[in-house]
Amino acid sequence: MSKNIGMHTKRGLAFYARIYRKVLIQDLKSKMSYRADFIISTFGMIMTNAVGFISFYILFQNFPSINGWNYYEMLFFYGFSLIALTPLQCLFDNNWNLRYSVESGDFIKYCFRPINVFFYYISEVFDVKGLGQLAFGILVLGYAWMHLAIPVSAVTIAQLLLLLLTASLFMIAIMNFAVATCFWIQRSGYVMILMFRFKDYAKYPASIFDGIFKVIFTFVIPIAFIAYYPALVLLRPDEIPVLSYISPLLGILFFRLSYKFWMLGARKYNGTGS
């Protein structure tokens, strides 16, 4: 089986783009046939994120700043993290079902098609309610950006897009590592839930945490790269640390390692569960 998987991993980007477009169209058609569910779930996603916005507002009614970070800077982190998490929400949501497929033996069907097994599995689901999160994140980020008077130029927009992509790669990689543990251990859902809950810390600057937690959130579970280090490039351009400069390269490396780990599990899969 591992030989079959290895044989079908080398395809061009254009090939997978065509395949994904076709899969996406069919998936969206299926979801739009249940429009009430789409509307309710999207509204629920927006309201969930709105709670975070309200929490910041209430918090800053009592404290003018937190460890040197003002209200609008904190909102910038919050909006940035919501946008950065959207690709995980929309494009990689099927990872949540991986442990069930492995335990039931259904994952075997993904191992014999002439395409990359990671792409094949992930592309089956597009979570449209993540678009509600994206819209809310853009509104929050734009609101904070305006009050912080960050210049709007081709350079800053290009930086923003690169930094958001970087942050997304880190969050996707964290979840890839977490979900792929199901190939080796049972009850891996606890690992997934734990790692996913860590995302809530991404909306806070890493500098507010004690030394040991800052180290953990930077080098062990790199939550700080989902908003803090990338956003510093725009928020405080005169105080950019080295980790902010190299975060795009680290994001690519971390995602690549998570992909290799996921594929290693798929190659070891024997069709009878983990």
Supply the angle between the helices 228-235 and 242-268 in degrees, to the nearest 10.
150
Q: Does residue 226 carry a pLDDT above 90? A: yes
User: Residue 273: what pLDDT?
Assistant: 47
Q: Helix count (H) and strand count (E) of the chain?
A: 12, 2
State pLDDT tens for residues 235-270: 999 889 999 999 999 999 999 999 999 999 998 886
- Mean predicted lDDT score pLDDT of the chain: 86
- Cα distances from 255 to residues 127, 129, 131, 185, 264, in angstroms, run 21, 24, 22, 22, 14
User: Residue 29: what pLDDT?
Assistant: 72
Closest of 83, 108, 135, 82 to residue 2, by C-alpha? 108
Average pLDDT value for residue range 66-95:
92
What are the residues facing 66 on neighbouring strands? Answer: 69
- Is residue 70 within a helix (H) or strand (E), and if so which, with residue range? strand 69-70
Q: Does residue 91 carry a pLDDT above 80? A: yes
Give the whole-angstrom CA distance, residue 126 versus residue 123. 7
Average pLDDT value for residue range 145-160:
95
User: Residue 25: what pLDDT?
Assistant: 78
Supply the angle between the helices 71-91 and 35-62 in degrees, to the nearest 10.
160
Closest of 94, 114, 83 to residue 27, by C-alpha? 94
Q: Does residue 3 carry a pLDDT above 80? A: no
